[in-house]
Chains A and B, each alone.
Chain A
Amino acid sequence: MNWPDLGTLAPIVVAVLTAAAVLIVDMAAPGRRAPAIATALVGLTVVGLVVLSLAGHTETAFGGAYVVDALTAFLDLLFVAIAALTILFAADYLEPRGLPIAEFAAVLIFAITGAMLIAGSADLLLLFVALELMVLPGYLLAGFARNDPYSTEGAIKYFLLGSFSSAILLFGLAYVWGLTGSTRVSDVAAALALAAAKGSIAPGLAMGLAFMTAGVAFKMAAVPFHYWTPDAYQGSPTPVTAYLSVGPKVGAFAIALRLFVGALGPLKADWLPVVIVLAALTMTLGNLVAITQDNVKRMLAYSSIAHTGYILVGLAAYAGGQRSGISAILFYGAAYTFMNMGAFAVVTALQRRPGVTSQISSFAGLGRRDPWLGLLMALFLLSLTGIPPLAGFWAKAYVIVAAIQAGGWLTALAVLAMLNAAAAAFYYLRVIVYMYMREPAEGAAALSPGILFRVGLAVTGIATLIFGLFPAILDVAGKAADVFKS
């Protein structure tokens, strides 16, 4: 490593320093929440600014293992936004439960650092290390409410299945390394292009491909590798669930982009059928099970599985020969981040008082008890449903356009995605039914979320609306997708 590398790595360095600073501030002023939160938010802002200052040109570090390009910048900004929003939403939730915010913020920022490292990985080994750096703090966060048995149960399941899937992924990476002789993404792609040109792929490579697919599918919670998701999501403290439903998911898709598109792009005809099947299963099963849920947190967990399926349609479209599939994935990731975090934030607000469950009955009459919260929840749910002109609609539209352009089986997949979206409307609208068409329960107190929380909600709400009205804003997703030339 040399000094110029440090400039390229600046966002990650600043992120690590921020996490450390939060811990130091907490030691200096133990028990005081404001300084820790302020440090975390200021630090994340700086990370964002550094990312922006590097944006626009491509640089590499560690002799090419780490790369900063438009894709890295896009994903980094998204991860920073996820971390900042999670902290904004968590403060209100953790305080009444006596959980420390400083440790929470520090662990979260470490996790985000890992995600940012994934975004810039141009080497399979670095990719794996970055992945572990992202998910290990995630296990801690899932078990953050350590006196709550559900939280602990969820964390253990998440940890066991997560470690298992990491091992499978690593196994797959090892096969690829063994058969191509390199861990550098560009070299792997070149070697595979040669292999693909010969017409048949080695059995070992097929094994590696299968292992890697399974590993990544675990991380993104694609059916049938999704079993950890509902329990981990339902058991975790709600702000953590908000984070888990977007952070590691976007992270997993970042891996998919760097690994499947970057390194395994030449073999895309071979993994296309697998992705089509995964996408079809994931969205259909996620939706069908979500319909039967009475707990909003669990419902959103299954719906996040369904959304994974829609995003996989974008990956399938890429494999089917449409590069627009990549920008569709990125747009979906950004839109999904804001609308889904917003929806979880409203659940968090309801659960501000310990003891309030996330059962759908808790939502009864919310539209009247707290009109703004109700309105925002309705906005997020409609966006998740895919009603225009909200962010979620464009996300689906772009994915569908890419799939239709690819044609063939992918057109059928697009039709299936739309039928799924219609089925999803049922359970999203059910929450709206409760909020607006049922009377509030006796003695339901008014909710008074704190100022940080309101800021977070405003950001997610405005983003959901603005991305919907002016989707051209996210044309940067197209630029980020241009990283992959073929």
Chain B
Amino acid sequence: MPTLPILSLITFVPLLGAVLIALLPSKEQDLIRRTALGTSLAAWALSLVLLLTYSLGQAGFQFKEAADWIPSFGIQFKLGVDGLSVLMVVLTTTLSWISILASFGPIKVRVKEYMISFLVLEVGMIGVFVALDLFLFYIFWELVLVPMYLIIGIWGGANRIYATTKFVLYTLVGSLLMLVAILATAFTYQAANGSWAGAFDYEKLQAFAAAGSFGHNFQMLAFLALFLAFAIKVPMFPFHTWLPDAHTEAPTAGSVILAGVLLKLGAYGLIRFAVPLYPFAAHTFAGPIIVLSLIAIVYGAVVSIVQPDLKRLIAYSSVSHMGFVTLGIFVFTATALQGAILQMLSHGLITGGLFLLVGVVYERTHDRSIAKMGGLAATMPLWSTVFGFFILASIGLPGLSGFVGEFLVFVGSFTFAPVIAVSSIIVMVLAATYLLWMFQRVAFGAVSDFLTGLGDHLTDISRVELFTIAPLAALIVLFGLFPSLILDYLSPVQTFLAAAGAAVGG
């Protein structure tokens, strides 16, 4: 029975929007904005259909589509989702339309190019999460790079060209080595089976890997290449230095997508590809990776304390928060992995919200320096309230989504090694320090001279702005109170652990 190719639809609806916009004259800015919002909302609606029609508790991939692409190498156009991908797709589509709506005001020049870039970016991001062919995955992975390069480079802040070049070069070094690893993996499969058929097919490769068919030395090299690519994207310490620059210089919506989705691409890659395909290597390197994660958690938090710039502070806090994700992945317990995935979602919502809120202030003040702020609670009371909420969520206040993710990682890693859990809990204190201190300097105290000088320009958060942030706040509360809503989707956690466990046994 031919069914609706819903994954292709979700992936390529934004592309359709980009083509439509390309055909519109650049003067029709409002029409362009509405077309972009409309298509991203359509993709979002489709992703919600996917979320609701996905059958929980069923193992393996659903909504699979496959067509030959380059038959001589067995490369397919193959899509499919499991619970993890579904959640990531919905996160992507949600943040995409919110970002596009949030760009209506701030982006005033070259709106057409901006919206086209954004929609192409969405295609790439969704594609990464639904691709079940390693080659296709790689193509989508690289597709993300170009529009983000342009978004930071054209619509970014003063130091944008340095930031965007650094971003691209870091990512490219990782991803090109990943390409070599992917090709080598496919070739190993081809050499073992005597044909290219299925050599890039994720499901076949996973079965091949689960049978322990990849040699140990090969696994070590391939894993390192993939790990480097993903670790740069996450970013893990010490590959994180592109992140503060890119986050700070990107336009608000760019920062939202960077923090909300792009960092998750790296974590997704680790969970989906690096560990299940090379389980032996993943176990071998788990120790150093856990150490790096702990360093990232502590280092990100400590460095955040001294940041003078609002966006830079949030950027470094991302390094710290994403450290929990990599920690959760590599302690190899079901609880920790569930926590890591929950933390991925929650970090996307919370940090996305924080960047949007900083963007609101930046729109009015054209400044992000913490020192120049002060007393915003008096001049922008509603904004300060919402900002306070997101800061509490970021600290990990129980009842909000950030807490659940980090808590599960603690619990999961406690059974692995208590010392890890204990040392990472100390970081929660640090998080409270840098976030609350920043909030105190920005929101409380006397209204600063700089802000007084702005006079009437300093209006409180507008309804549209509030509308972009409200869904994120609602989801943070929802997932904080009912984490089972997400955890129900995470049956693949078991498959993942089974694959990882097989390597330890064998």
Contacts and interface: CB of A to CB of B under 8 A. Distances in A.
B272 to A, nearest CB: 19
20 contacts: A388-B138, A388-B142, A388-B143, A389-B143, A401-B73, A415-B177, A415-B180, A418-B176, A418-B179, A419-B176, A422-B173, A425-B168, A426-B169, A433-B161, A433-B164, A436-B150, A436-B153, A437-B161, A471-B70, A472-B71
Contacts of B161: 433, 437
Contacts of A414: 180
Contacts of A389: 139, 143
A437 B154 contact: yes
Interface string B142-177: 110110011001100000110011001100110011
Contact of B187 (A405, A418, A432): A405
Most buried by B among A386, A388, A471: A388
Interface in B66-109: 70-73
B180 A429 contact: no
Contact of A478 (B72, B146, B168, B173): B72
Nearest to B145: A387
Given A419-B177, A422-B173, A401 B187 contact: yes
Interface in B168-208: 168-169, 172-173, 176-177, 179-180, 183-184, 187
Contacts of A437: 153-154, 160-161
Given A393-B142, A404-B180, A418-B176, 12 more contacts: A386-B176, A387-B142, A400-B179, A400-B183, A401-B187, A411-B184, A415-B180, A422-B169, A426-B169, A430-B165, A436-B153, A436-B154
A422 B139 contact: no
Nearest to A438: B161
A433 B167 CA distance: 13
Contact of A421 (B70, B165, B176, B184): B176
Contact size class for A?
20 to 34
Interface in A420-475: 421-422, 425-426, 429-430, 432-433, 436-437, 471-472, 475
A294 B79 CA distance: 44
Nearest to B71: A472
- Tell me whether chain A's interface is mostly helix, strand or loop, or mixed: helix
A83 interface: no
Given A387-B146, A400-B179, A437-B160, A429 B168 contact: yes
A433 B165 contact: yes
Q: Is the interface of B mostly helix, strand, loop or mixed?
A: helix
B172 A425 contact: yes
A55 interface: no
B187 A404 contact: yes
How many B residues are at the interface, by size bracket? 20 to 34
Nearest to A367: B113
A115 B228 CA distance: 44
Contact of A397 (B72, B154, B183): B183
B152 to A, nearest CB: 10
A171 B143 CA distance: 49
B113 to A, nearest CB: 8
A344 to B, nearest CB: 22
Contacts of A387: 142, 145-146
B154 A418 contact: no
6 nearest interchain CB pairs? A418-B176, A388-B139, A422-B172, A422-B173, A437-B153, A404-B184
Nearest to A433: B161
Nearest to B170: A422
A425 to B, nearest CB: 5
A256 interface: no
A382 interface: yes
Contact of B183 (A401, A433, A436, A475): A401
B194 to A, nearest CB: 13
B177 to A, nearest CB: 6
Nearest to A394: B70
B256 to A, nearest CB: 21
Nearest to A386: B176
Nearest to B72: A475
A474 B231 CA distance: 35
A397 B178 CA distance: 12
Nearest to A368: B110
A387 B142 CA distance: 7
A289 to B, nearest CB: 18
Contact of A418 (B70, B145, B180): B180
Contacts of B164: 433
Interface string A132-159: 0000000000000000000000000000
A413 to B, nearest CB: 11
B352 to A, nearest CB: 25
A397 B179 contact: yes
A419 B173 CA distance: 6
Interface in A329-355: none
Contacts of B145: 387
Contacts of A386: 176
Interface string A380-420: 00100011110001000100110011000001001100110
B444 to A, nearest CB: 39
Contacts of B72: 472, 475, 478
Interface string B348-362: 000000000000000
B138 A433 contact: no
B179 A426 contact: no
B177 A418 contact: yes
Contacts of A388: 138-139, 142-143
Contact of A429 (B139, B149, B154, B173): B149
B193 to A, nearest CB: 14
Contacts of B73: 401
Contacts of B177: 415, 418-419
B117 to A, nearest CB: 10
A109 B204 CA distance: 52
B168 A404 contact: no
A425 B71 contact: no
Contacts of B183: 397, 400-401, 404
